[in-house]
Amino acid sequence: MTQTPAPPVARLRAADLGRISSVGLRTRKLRAALSALGIAIGVAAIVAVLGLSSSSQAGLLAEIDRLGTNLLTVTNGQTLFGQPAELPTTAPPMIGRIASVEDVQDTGTVHVNAYRSNLIPAIDTNALSVQAASLDLLPCIGTSVAHGQYLNAATAQQPVAVLGAAAAQRLGIAQVHPGERILVGGQWFYVVGILNPAVLAPAVDDAVLVGYPAAKKYLGFDGHPSTVYVRAQSDHVSEVHARLTTTANPQSPHEVTVSRPSDALVARAQAKSALSGLFLGLGAVSLLVGAVGVANTMIISVLERRSEIGLRRALGATKGHIRIQFLSEAALLAVFGGAGGVGLGAAATAVYAQTKHWAIVIPTLAWAGGLGAALLIGAVAGIIPAVRAARLQPTEALWTV
């Protein structure tokens, strides 16, 4: 007696799998869209955070490269007793004698306050400083005049002031008008210029700049510089850095502080990248919420489609076919959400970067990681509903027909 061979198990082709996997999404569009939205928000947050962080860092590093990394600053440190030290008046010319130094400019802190008018309470200083400045300061620190003009040999001897970018904003002066005056140390000073932001010399942004002769004549300035800006030859920055303390103050080199502004800006860019980890955590939470939404949608879909599952099983579909159908449907739902999230995150990054005049940088890790995370979450969220659907017996499922 011969046994009839079992019919071969039909294979589910990729085209058929794609068609049946999209049935639930096409018939329940609103529910699918809302479920995908949770995934999209999480992915968009991740892409936008990584994109904005990378774009910001790229913009800052490009600005540093444009301004140069060869600027060094020499400032007065502290004495052995913790008191503010004083740079010698000979420090700038002595530093200028170093062979590898290209330019030396300086500012000196004048211990007075500046106000918009004599009606401002003395306590409202707006955190402004008053600085005596050398005449060729701007090219050395990499900034320029936004409005008006800078100090020259004539105006440096008169009660004339130039405002840093932040100082002008705090004083409420956006343009230079004829006769514009501010009160500096009890003396009226005419405002002749407003500077652009000084990226490498933020102290200048907050300062009211006056000439050295005027500071001595009208404000009782002692003539000692507090900050010396040094442009060194690019190939000899380290060599110049090592010689600055002993050159600026040979008698007390330990009272001199030397720094490189570009290093601080690079560190700030790296700190911003580290801070973005917090926002990545928020994006991960959104992805988790999206995964719960996908799982909920698929579980309800299994309950509502019991008759479909029973009919397919009766027509020869195996448990594996049912399982892969619902698993693929969950993954497809997550991929749609992930793709939408990548698009939203990239668009947000592009718009914000354009407003800040940054290069638009969207790391591969951002969009590829977002899509990969969405696909993984969809697969994990769809496992339990897919298994439940595959366990349904044809007769049990067809009871609902």
Give 81-92 pLDDT, tens digit per residue: 767 788 999 999
Claim to verify: residue 129 and residue 189 sit in the same structural domain: yes
Dist. CA 252–CA 194, nearest whole Å: 37
Claim to verify: residue 104 and residue 199 sit in the same structural domain: yes
**Residue that wins the pLDDT comparison between 90 and 352:** 90
pLDDT in tens, 282-301: 666 666 766 676 677 667 66
Average pLDDT score over the chain: 81
Are 137 and 107 in contact, with CB atoms under 8 Å apart?
yes
SS (H, E, C) 190-213: EEEEEECCCCCCHHHHCEEEEEHH
Does residue 278 have a pLDDT over 60? no
What would the DSSP string read from start to end of 123-164?
A: T--TT-EEEEE-TTHHHHHT--EEEE----TTGGGSSEEEE-
pTM for the model: 0.61
Task: Say if 6 falls within a structural domain.
Answer: no
Claim to verify: residue 296 and residue 154 sit in the same structural domain: no
Claim to verify: residue 21 and residue 90 sit in the same structural domain: no
Report pLDDT for 272. Answer: 54
Report pLDDT for 400. Answer: 52
Length of the chain: 401
Claim to verify: residue 49 and residue 91 sit in the same structural domain: no
Claim to verify: residue 241 and residue 288 sit in the same structural domain: no
**Residue that wins the pLDDT comparison between 14 and 47:** 47
Claim to verify: residue 161 and residue 55 sit in the same structural domain: no
**Residue that wins the pLDDT comparison between 109 and 274:** 109
Of the candidate ranges 54-58, 73-77, 171-175, the one whose mean pLDDT is the lowest: 54-58
Claim to verify: residue 221 and residue 350 sit in the same structural domain: no
Out of 240, 259, 278, a domain closes at 259
Are 204 and 164 in contact, with CB atoms under 8 Å apart?
yes
pLDDT band at 109 (very low <50, low <70, confident <90, very high): very high
Does residue 180 have a pLDDT over 80? yes
> What average pLDDT does the segment 207-222 reach?
96
Claim to verify: residue 335 and residue 314 sit in the same structural domain: yes
Are 148 and 196 in contact, with CB atoms under 8 Å apart?
no
Task: Say if 284 falls within a structural domain.
Answer: yes
Claim to verify: residue 21 and residue 159 sit in the same structural domain: no
Dist. CA 166–CA 323, nearest whole Å: 64
Dist. CA 120–CA 289, nearest whole Å: 53
Dist. CA 319–CA 389, nearest whole Å: 8
Of the candidate ranges 179-193, 252-266, 335-349, the one whose mean pLDDT is the lowest: 252-266
Which of these, 132, 127, 101, lies nearest to 114 by C-alpha position?
A: 127
Dist. CA 390–CA 397, nearest whole Å: 11
Does residue 386 have a pLDDT over 70? no
Claim to verify: residue 44 and residue 113 sit in the same structural domain: no
Out of 259, 279, 295, a domain closes at 259
* Pairing verdict, β 101-110 and 227-232: antiparallel
Claim to verify: residue 129 and residue 42 sit in the same structural domain: no
Q: How many domains does the chain have?
A: 2
Which of these, 171, 179, 162, lies nearest to 215 by C-alpha position?
A: 162
